[in-house]
Amino acid sequence: MKLVGNWNYPTPVRFGAGRITEIADACAAAGITRPLLVTDRGLASMAITTHTLDLLNEAGLGRAMFSDVDPNPSDKNVEAGLKVYREGGFDGVVAFGGGSGLDLAKTLAFMAGQSRPLWDFEDVGDWWTRADPAGIHPIVAVPTTAGTGSEVGRASIITNSETHEKKIIFHPKMLPSVVICDPELTVGMPKFITAGTGLDAFAHCVEAFCSPHYHPMSQGIALEGMRLVKEYLPRAYADGTDLEARAHMMSAAAMGATAFQKGLGAIHALSHPIGAVHHTHHGTTNAVCMPAVLQFNQAPCEGILGQAAAYLGIDGGFDGFCAYVDELNASLGIPRTLTELGVTDPDLDALTKSALNDPSTGGNPVEMTYENTRKLFETLL
């Protein structure tokens, strides 16, 4: 099967190897004539980035770039980026990179024409209606990892540098106008990034599948996303040049982010404050949290994860699924505990309170309380 296609759900996606060459056409389709490419520091000097800037420049779109983006992007990055964006007179962004670059770029495009402060648009109730839709600039998204799925999402995760809390900034128009998913851009990912981002996609699918909310389409997408990760993440990890595996993992990433409109859960509720305070890699933190959260959610999820295990060809129902997760983590070099991940002297009271304030708690099949959430953190250490 040739892994090339054009999709229109949840937004127009141009999928296939080599399609980065369509970047100028994608900008035109989005109505962007003066783009700012936004990426992270690590990608700024890499060949895939300079090649993309060359393609933009050759099309008369310039080669402007902003790369002052932290691994967990913060309001300070937003402030710095907006200064560059507004002073440069740009009219749209090329969001280029992993979750950090994509989330920061989407936030810059969203905030470009807003007069209210960033935190007025946190994903609380109908706060998104505070935004001026005419002030939201278009986005072309180009993922270079296969995990977060931010390229097909309507939100960004930004860390509040004062409270050290991760906040969700949401608006329907934050959904990119055009997405280019070119698996060739992911070939150079190091093993630990391949593992962490891939397991982020898996966590999205698992939590969406287990969420008690009703959304049959997301349920099916999440299940097939899990299958793609099971089949192809070990291959991509073993051989980074395996383009078929890289392509299927890009699909799994987009599927996970599409599915989790059904809900996330305790994995992300725990992971967000850990990452915000201790600056751990998001997907890897999710992977560390997953085994304990599966046990925490056993009662309501035993049956449904037993069904998932059968679909995935895993023997042993719920217990077999949990054993598979343990084996997958071990095979990909994932730390077993938060301590092994580098979390030292954690403030469990603050982490617990932050976790309970995270919107992801609402999608967990077991109600999260101060007592059981703190105990989860203690188990994970």
The pLDDT tens digits of the residues spanning 117-169 come to 999 999 999 999 999 999 999 999 999 999 999 999 999 999 999 999 999 99
Residue entry with tokens 């990608």? 43
- Give residue 9's pLDDT: 84
* Bridge partners of residue 165, in order along the sequence: 160
Q: How far apart are CA 95 and CA 38, in angstroms?
A: 5
DSSP letter (8 states) at residue 137: P
Q: How far apart are CA 289 and CA 256, in angstroms?
A: 17
Do residues 186 and 249 make contact, with C-beta atoms less than 8 angstroms apart?
A: yes
Q: What CATH code would you report for 191-380? A: 1.20.1090.10
Exposure letters 134-158 (e unless 16+ CB within 10 A, then b): eebbbbbbbbbbbbbbbbbbbbbbb
Q: How far apart are CA 298 and CA 292, in angstroms?
A: 10
pLDDT 10s digits, 18-36: 999 999 999 999 999 999 9
Q: What percent of the chain has pLDDT over 70?
A: 100
DSSP, collapsed to helix, strand or coil, labels residue 68 as coil
Q: What CATH code would you report for 13-186? A: 3.40.50.1970
- Would 13-186 and 191-380 be classified into the same CATH topology? no
Domain assignments of the chain as residue spans, ordered by start: 13-186, 191-380
- Give residue 10's pLDDT: 86
N-term to C-term CA, the chain: 44
Do residues 106 and 139 make contact, with C-beta atoms less than 8 angstroms apart?
A: yes
pLDDT 10s digits, 284-318: 999 999 999 999 999 999 999 999 999 999 999 99
pLDDT 10s digits, 37-53: 999 999 999 999 999 99
Of the CA atoms within 13 Å of residue 338, those in its CB half-sphere come to 29
DSSP, collapsed to helix, strand or coil, labels residue 245 as helix
Residue 336 has pLDDT above 80, yes or no: yes
* Bridge partners of residue 14, in order along the sequence: 6, 180
Q: How far apart are CA 9 and CA 2, in angstroms?
A: 20
Average the pLDDT over 60-81 and give the result: 96
Average the pLDDT over 168-174 and give the result: 96
- Give residue 62's pLDDT: 97
- Give residue 2's pLDDT: 83
pLDDT 10s digits, 188-241: 999 999 999 999 999 999 999 999 999 999 999 999 999 999 999 999 999 999
Give the other-Cβ count within 10 Å of 27's Cβ: 25
Average the pLDDT over 82-106 and give the result: 97
Q: How far apart are CA 263 and CA 271, in angstroms?
A: 15
Give the pTM.
0.95
Q: How far apart are CA 202 and CA 283, in angstroms?
A: 9
Helices 216-238 + 317-331 axis angle, to 10 = 40
pLDDT 10s digits, 96-108: 999 999 999 999 9
Residue-wise DSSP of 144-169: SSSS--GGG-SEEEEEETTTTEEEEE
Rounded to the nearest integer, the mean pLDDT of the chain is 97
Residue 1 has pLDDT above 80, yes or no: no
Exposure letters 192-231 (e unless 16+ CB within 10 A, then b): ebbbbbbbbbbbbbbbbbbbeeebeebbebbbebbbbbbe
Residue 307: what are its φ and ψ, rounded to 5°?
-65, -40
